[in-house]
Chains A and B, each alone.
Chain A
Amino acid sequence: MKFSSEFRDPELARGVLTAIARTVAEIGATAERPVRIMEICGGHTHAIFRNGIDRLVPEGLEFIHGPGCPVCVLPMARVDEAVRIARLPGVVFTTFGDAMRVPGTLGSLNQAKAEGADIRMVYSPLDALELARRLPDREIVFFGLGFETTTPSTALTIRQARDEGVTNFTVFCNHIAVTPPLRVLLEDPHMLLDGFIGPGHVSMVIGTRPYAFIANEFGKPIVVAGFEPLDLLQSVLMVLRQIRDGRAEVENQYARVVPEAGNPVALAVCDEVYEPRRSFEWRGLGEIDRSGLRIREAYADFDAERRFEIGYGARSAADPDGCACGEVMTGRLKPFQCPQFGTGCTPRMPLGALMVSSEGACAACYQYGGQRRPEPVG
């Protein structure tokens, strides 16, 4: 392990690692009975594998990779609807690049593009709106994807389109909220999570209060963390100390970016443009109450579900046979324990969505080989 090059301040990192080891020992956790911490955000998952943090911490500490990669939890049925919209005559379908390779039962958007659908990658929903201005005779549809970090940008773009009277721009809304699946995981009697590392950038928008139920109702600690390896280590230590001391609180390690109340402008525009759906499907987790957003009636003209009469849930699609995405997502299996890992499922030819984005647990594990193999001592 190239330890020193991975950390800005190796001495500090070493100190935190020592404190982590001591605290794990004080808790009495062992390889057989580990303390389990879920990092919710896919960016953290990537950083943990990238920096080999899972191998630097003691055996008695296990990371469970959470549902915080929006591309990974996008259900097959919605990918299929995206492909159907993209194939409609006159439509230009715009999307973030990440979503191009997500497999659905009709193939991926990449395949649909190869077959002639007009699908274009954009960096920002603003670029999709700009395309609508430049191509007034075409229907521009934007694939609205992501958690609360990207949800406000889509909302602001929709509002901009309305203010300018743009009539050929709609959003296929698949925005989701980060906390509802956590409740589902916490209510699962088979789930053995001891604490959480909270997402940094989502929290910059929603603040730290939406996590209160994790501490208050379920008695588990959560620490909102930044993205530097040292941020992650410090946050892990903060979670461990709470566990050792029998505390359950929402702590904020990333206060330099995350205000307790979040971003009021972003929250207000989201509330104006979207309303919660009764439920929304998550790949590997199933339908989750009030976990997805739809566009409000007041902005119906910008809703692709209404414009193309798709709605939600009209057609379902089962995950492919033999993939263990659900088990990996809920922490029951490690990525490399899936029978398809590295054989039927690789980043080049993903079978499951966790293999698509670099924030997906399987892709990160594959890329960095971050599995805990028993290593001979000495």
Chain B
Amino acid sequence: MCLGIPGRIVEISDPTRKLATIDVAGVRREVNVMCIEGDAPLDTLVGAWVLIHVGFAMSRIDEEEARATLDILAQMGEAEDEVAAMRASERMLGAER
């Protein structure tokens, strides 16, 4: 819960709600980007690496930092856990559509 996971912004999916699609270790999910928006237009975030905590991008990081962090998380088994939690949550919601 406390360790974030790096991901890369693929597209802005809902500008009003400040949501973006992010690729996290090969899995896509919608993430809120309000905390890293800054003054530049939202579209300029596409391609950026960010640190994601429970569905919110909390910090922009550079690619090297992202890869190093992913490696550490993978070693600790935390990356798998995060991705599994994302998938389980999505399945749970899918059942209620």
A residues near B, CB below 8 A?
Answer: 8, 41-43, 46-47, 50, 68-71, 96-98, 120-127, 130-131, 134-135, 145-147, 149-150, 152-153, 156, 160, 199, 201-202, 204-205, 227-229, 256-257, 263, 265-266, 357-359
Q: Mark B53-97, 1 if CB is under 8 A from A, else 0.
A: 111101101100100110110011110001001101110110011
> B2's contact among A41, A229, A256, by CB below 8 Å, is which?
A41
A-B contact pairs, 12 of them (CB 8 A): A8-B71, A43-B3, A124-B54, A125-B55, A126-B32, A127-B55, A134-B97, A153-B53, A228-B69, A256-B61, A257-B65, A357-B1
Asked if A153 and B85 make an inter-chain contact with CB atoms under 8 angstroms apart, the answer reads no
Interface membership of B51, Cβ < 8 A: yes
Asked if B1 and A71 make an inter-chain contact with CB atoms under 8 angstroms apart, the answer reads yes
**B residues within 8 A CB of A266?**
35, 58
Q: Which residue of A lies closest to B82 (CB)?
A: A123
CA of A221 to CA of B59, assembled, Å: 26
Asked if A227 and B93 make an inter-chain contact with CB atoms under 8 angstroms apart, the answer reads no
Asked if A130 and B93 make an inter-chain contact with CB atoms under 8 angstroms apart, the answer reads yes
Please give the distance in Å from B81's CB to the nearest CB on chain A. Answer: 8
**A residues within 8 A CB of B96?**
131, 134-135
Asked if A120 and B92 make an inter-chain contact with CB atoms under 8 angstroms apart, the answer reads yes
Please give the distance in Å from B55's CB to the nearest CB on chain A. Answer: 3
Interface membership of B37, Cβ < 8 A: yes
**B residues within 8 A CB of A127?**
55, 89-90, 92-93
CA of A202 to CA of B65, assembled, Å: 17
Query: Which 8 residue pairs spanning A and B have beta carbons closest together?
Result: A124-B55, A123-B89, A153-B56, A134-B96, A123-B85, A126-B55, A127-B89, A124-B54
CA of A42 to CA of B76, assembled, Å: 13
Interface membership of B25, Cβ < 8 A: no
Given the interface pairs A47-B76, A96-B54, A135-B96, the reply to whether A150 lies near B61 with Cβ below 8 Å is: no
> A98's contact among B1, B58, B93, by CB below 8 Å, is which?
B1
CA of A71 to CA of B17, assembled, Å: 30
Please give the distance in Å from A372's CB to the nearest CB on chain B. Answer: 21
Q: Which residue of B lies closest to A263 (CB)?
A: B35
Asked if B17 and A160 make an inter-chain contact with CB atoms under 8 angstroms apart, the answer reads yes
**A residues within 8 A CB of B58?**
149, 152, 201, 204-205, 263, 266
Interface membership of B4, Cβ < 8 A: yes
Interface membership of B10, Cβ < 8 A: no
Asked if B68 and A8 make an inter-chain contact with CB atoms under 8 angstroms apart, the answer reads yes
**B residues within 8 A CB of A120?**
92
**A residues within 8 A CB of B77?**
358
Given the interface pairs A121-B85, A257-B65, A265-B34, the reply to whether A228 lies near B72 with Cβ below 8 Å is: yes
**A residues within 8 A CB of B72?**
47, 227-229
Q: Which residue of A lies closest to B88 (CB)?
A: A121
CA of A68 to CA of B2, assembled, Å: 9
Please give the distance in Å from A371's CB to the nearest CB on chain B. Answer: 19
Asked if B51 and A146 make an inter-chain contact with CB atoms under 8 angstroms apart, the answer reads no
Q: Which residue of B lies closest to A357 (CB)?
A: B1
